Amino acid sequence: MSSSVSPLAPKKFVTLPPVDGVRIATAEAGIKYKGRTDLLVMAFDEGTSVAGVLTRSKCPSAPVDFCRENLAGGKGRILVVNSGNANAFTGKKGKTATAATAKAAAAAAGCGENEVYLASTGVIGEPLDAGKFSHLLESLAADASPDRWADAGKAIMTTDTYPKYATAKVALGDVEVTINGIAKGAGMIAPDMATMLSFVATDAPIAAPVLKDLLTRGANRSFNAVTVDSDTSTSDTLLIFATGAAARRGAPSITALDDPQLVPFKRALNRLLKDLALQVVRDGEGARKEIEISVAGAKSSRSAKRIALSIANSPLVKTAVAGEDANWGRVVMAVGKAGEPAERDLLSISFGDHRVAHEGERDPSYSEEAVSEYMKGDRIRIGVELGIGQGKATVWTCDLTKEYVAINGDYRS
- Burial (0-12, 13-18, 19+ Cβ within 10 Å), 4: exposed
- Max distance between CA atoms of the chain, in angstroms, equals 70
> Per mean pLDDT, which range of 33-37, 110-114, 206-210 is the poorest?
33-37
Q: pLDDT at position 1, please?
A: 45
pTM for the full predicted model: 0.89
- Residue 195 known to bind ligand: yes
Name the 3-class secondary structure at 30: coil
Provide the 10 A C-beta neighbour count for residue 169.
Answer: 11
Would you tell me the crossing angle of helices 315-322 and 328-337 to the nearest 10 degrees? 160
pLDDT confidence bin for 413, thresholds 50/70/90: low
Q: Which candidate in 90, 159, 195, 232 is catalytic?
A: 195
pLDDT confidence bin for 2, thresholds 50/70/90: very low
314-340 residue pLDDT tens: 999 999 999 999 999 999 999 999 999
Q: pLDDT at position 405, please?
A: 81
Domains in the chain, CATH or no CATH each:
22-282 (3.60.70.12), 290-409 (3.10.20.340)
- Residue 337 known to bind ligand: no
Q: Within 13 A of 223's CA, how many CA atoms are on the CB side?
A: 36
Would you tell me the crossing angle of helices 62-71 and 91-109 to the nearest 10 degrees? 50
Q: pLDDT at position 147, please?
A: 97
150-166 residue pLDDT tens: 999 999 998 899 999 99
Distance separating alpha carbons of residues 163 and 294, to the nearest angstrom: 27
> Does 411 score more than 70 pLDDT?
no
- Residue 184 known to bind ligand: yes
Q: pLDDT at position 191, please?
A: 53
pLDDT confidence bin for 56, thresholds 50/70/90: confident
* Pairing state between β 197-202 and 237-242: parallel
Q: Identify which of 274, 264, 250 has the alpha carbon closest to the alpha carbon of residue 170.
A: 264
Q: Identify which of 208, 195, 197, 203 has the alpha carbon closest to the alpha carbon of residue 245.
A: 203
Alpha-carbon distances of 24 from 13, 74, 148, 201, 273, rounded to whole Å: 19, 21, 6, 11, 21
Sheet holding 237-242, edge to edge: 49-54, 237-242, 197-202, 175-184, 164-172
Q: Identify which of 78, 63, 102, 71 has the alpha carbon closest to the alpha carbon of residue 22.
A: 78
- Residue 413 known to bind ligand: yes
* Pairing state between β 39-44 and 78-85: antiparallel
Distance separating alpha carbons of residues 41 and 298, to the nearest angstrom: 45
Q: Please indicate whether residue 216 is annotated as part of the active site.
A: no
